[in-house]
Amino acid sequence: MTVSSAPGKVYLFGEHAVVYGEPAVPCAVERRATVTVAARDDDHVRVRAEDLSLNGFTVEYRGSTGDRPDVDVPAPLVEAAMGYIDAAVDQAREAADAPDAGFDITVESDIPLGAGLGSSAAVVVAGIDAATRELGVELAPREIAERAYRAEHEVQDGQASRADTFCSAMGGAVRVEGDDCRTIDAPPLPFVIGFDGGAGDTGALVSGVRALREEYDFAADTVSTVGDIVRRGEELLAESDPDADEPPEELLSELGRFMNFNHGLLEALGVSSRSLDSMVWAAREAGAYGAKLTGAGGGGCIVSLDPTPETQTALRFTPGCEDAFRAELATEGVRVEVPPEADAEAEAETDPEREGDGGNSA
């Protein structure tokens, strides 16, 4: 058995525009998806999912999810969750050159599904890491990012950027522009997240922006203006001290201003919603430096910057807000929580102090 985890993320700037080659800056946050994988003797894949903001379910299929079983949860949710897990399994089998490998998989996640916090990317990244390790292959985080991107790309009919998967695999703040992905320095930003309890349909939202952009030049200009905001935001981060205990007020104030701009442009592109807008306004009125939706939009989460407790309190009292929480920058991306049994045994043999500790390397 092998257990790996990977973080979710918020977009400081740049969602949607990143799909058209503009840069984006997502930041990994300390909310993780954890995937447990145990190799089977046959080529079946059995999946158990818990805490995915939907009822736990268990499904078993042979080889590919083409043979879908009857389960007692709404079909689109099973389709979505199974699609990502199936694609992660395919990537792991390919990476380990083990096309007939079968697995028992358990997915647990404290990242709400489809809410703009990169839940699917975190599940795919952690799943590929755990499944390949279970097959005796250790991939570098960059290769996991690449394979997770291919998995998301396939499930989302080619409408995925590298941003979510790269950020989840690498951790910290990252910059993505087309195929150019890199980690960047950022101080510990005081993120406060508001969640409306809902989810957007990423595919439909991305298609909506694409259609608008094709029909109207000013929508295309709006997308490239988001790119300008990202470039300005990046400059601010590059000038800041990543080792500072707290980011200076001028930095937060300027980043917040750009977040507000970015939200306005996303709103103009039709991807906000009443609940997202009211959480954004509640955060601003509570004194947050800035607030914007994060991810595909249509419902889900907003992210704001506020080192004080005011925004979180205000969001908790905002109609339409189901949960409000502080999220720290996750400096670590994908990581193994429990290594494969063979590795754990070998480690215990060479390190007597570890004997009997269950082999948990987290």
274, burial (CB in 10 Å: exposed 0-12, middle 13-18, buried 19+): exposed
Among 86, 90, 129, 164, the active-site one is 164
Minimum separation from the CB atom of position 176 to ligand MEV (A): 8
- Is 114 part of any known ligand binding site? yes
Calculate the alpha carbon distances from 255 to 186, 227, 237, 248, 341 in Å.
12, 14, 9, 11, 46
Counts for the chain of helices (H) and strands (E), in that order: 10, 12
Nearer to ligand MEV, 114 or 340 (CB): 114
Task: Answer yes or no whether residue 15 interacts with ligand MEV by CB under 6 A.
Answer: yes
- Is 136 part of any known ligand binding site? no
164 catalytically annotated: yes
Q: Which stretch binds ligand MEV (CB under 6 A): 11-19, 47-55, 183-191, 343-351?
A: 11-19
Task: Answer yes or no whether residue 80 interacts with ligand MEV by CB under 6 A.
Answer: no
- Is 352 part of any known ligand binding site? no
Task: Answer yes or no whether residue 335 interacts with ligand MEV by CB under 6 A.
Answer: no
Minimum separation from the CB atom of position 308 to ligand MEV (A): 28
Task: Answer yes or no whether residue 202 interacts with ligand MEV by CB under 6 A.
Answer: yes
**Which residues pair with residue 48 across a beta bridge?**
58, 106
| Angle of the 202-215 helix axis to the 217-239 helix axis, nearest 10 | 120
CB 95 within 8 A of CB 146: no
In sequence order, the 6+-apart residues with CB closer than 8 A to the CB of 242 are 185, 186, 187
Minimum separation from the CB atom of position 112 to ligand MEV (A): 13
- Is 115 part of any known ligand binding site? yes
Task: Answer yes or no whether residue 196 interacts with ligand MEV by CB under 6 A.
Answer: no
The residue among 295, 289, 250 whose CA lies nearest residue 115 is 295
Nearer to ligand MEV, 266 or 279 (CB): 266
Task: Answer yes or no whether residue 16 interacts with ligand MEV by CB under 6 A.
Answer: yes
The residue among 27, 34, 8 whose CA lies nearest residue 115 is 8
Nearer to ligand MEV, 202 or 275 (CB): 202
- Is 251 part of any known ligand binding site? no
Task: Answer yes or no whether residue 296 interacts with ligand MEV by CB under 6 A.
Answer: yes
Active site residues: 164
